[in-house]
Chain A
Amino acid sequence: MRYSKLPFCYHLREGDTYMHIPDGFLDTKTMIASATVSVAVIAINNRNIKRAFDEQPVPSMGMMTAFVFVAQMLNFPIAPGVSGHLLGSALVTALFGPAAGMTIMTAVVALQALLFHDGGIMALGANVLNMAVLGCWGAYAVQRILFGGKIRPVSLFASGWLSIVLTAFAASIELGVSATVPFNAVVWPMLLWHAIIGIVEGVITAVTVPFLAKVTALKPWGRQEVEGS
């Protein structure tokens, strides 16, 4: 373990693991099953993505992809010895809708696995399923149901919180099915930590989306106005 030479970065250590599900945590059947589901959903999704490309400028999707990628590098401490980082599924879903949101999250997660060793390459299917598929569609469900589909800070907060908790729950199921650890043992600590991370995610989502709607030409998905901000 080596520490950075910069005086203010003493806590940065090399060999630090930023982590999605790495290789070795899941067994083969779980990896194949989750990869199959991910590929199937993305294949169906890509037929419906035309509306997103018609209504939203694609370069700004690239901009928000870079935004999410950099934001995921920023781990914040949530308790002594535990940290979390932004997921971003709810954020991009609120701006671009679930179809384009899934594409954005898949691009981020795939790049992290291929280049940065964050999340396993074999476990990529599971990570895409958790973060892109479930994260975006879970967030979209909340944003559509609350306030009759109007995007407000409260629904943004709720969708951000749910996307994190749903992702953690799915990861627990995958670990349980793989017989890595008993499901009953892993699910409660996972939900506890991620319920706390989800609060931060929810606040960031609820602040960022109205802010971006105000200072940029980006409009929330579905042409709904952001109210109460």
Chain B
Amino acid sequence: MSKSKKLWPWLLVVLMLVLTPFASSFPDGLERVADDLGFTSLEKNAGVSLMPDYTIPVIEDGAASTIIAGIIGAIILLLIFWAVDKAVRIHKQNMR
């Protein structure tokens, strides 16, 4: 796989990350229905969350906070699939 072929999806991911602070803050479909039908208040806070609502509590600026939270989430998912990749490779070697 040539380098440019790997580059494109990453460009899209970076572009979307830059756009995340501009995401609409209107309630989404389910939340709007909950608001209209009056059961939003049933929502419970399940204790502590490290990065509630895609913000990092320590970072004051909303935009930077959201972008960094997005980067952290993406890195965690990449690490998970990196581990899966390693496991699949080891499995294939053992099968040989």
Q: Which residues of A contact B (CB under 8 A)?
A: 2-6, 8-9, 11-25, 53, 58-67, 69-71, 73-77, 80-85, 107-108, 111-112, 115-118, 120-122, 168, 171, 180-181, 185-186, 189-190, 193-194, 197, 212, 215-217
B interface with A by C-beta (< 8 Å): 1, 4-6, 8-10, 12-13, 16-17, 19-34, 36-37, 39, 42-46, 49-55, 60-63, 66, 69-70, 72-78, 80-82, 84-85, 88
Cβ-Cβ contact count across A and B, 8 Å cutoff: 215
Most interface-central of A111, A116, A181, A217 (chain B CB within 10 A): A116
Q: Which residues of B contact A70 (CB under 8 A)?
A: 13, 16-17, 20, 70, 73-74
Of B12, B32, B80, the residue contacting A82 (CB under 8 A) is: B32
CB–CB B27/A81 < 8 A: yes
Can you identify 11 A-B contacts, CB atoms within 8 angstroms? A12-B66, A14-B55, A23-B46, A62-B80, A66-B77, A70-B73, A73-B16, A76-B24, A116-B53, A122-B46, A212-B8
Q: Is the CB of A66 within 8 A of B27?
A: no
In the docked arrangement, what's the CA distance between A24 and B39, Å?
10
B30 and A171 form a contact (CB under 8 A): yes
> A17 to B53, Cβ gap below 8 A?
yes
Q: Does the CB pair A216–B44 fall under 8 Å?
A: no
A123 to chain B: closest CB distance in Å? 9
Structural contact, B6 and A216, CB atoms closer than 8 A? yes
Q: Report yes or no: A190 in contact with B33, Cβ–Cβ below 8 A.
A: yes
Partner of A75, one of B5, B24, B43: B24
Task: Please give, as numbers and ranges, the residues of chain A lying within 8 Å of B23 by CB-CB distance.
Answer: 12, 73-76, 83, 85
Please state if B37 and A4 are interface contacts (CB–CB under 8 Å).
Answer: no
What chain A residues lie within 8 Å of B88 (beta carbons)? 53, 58
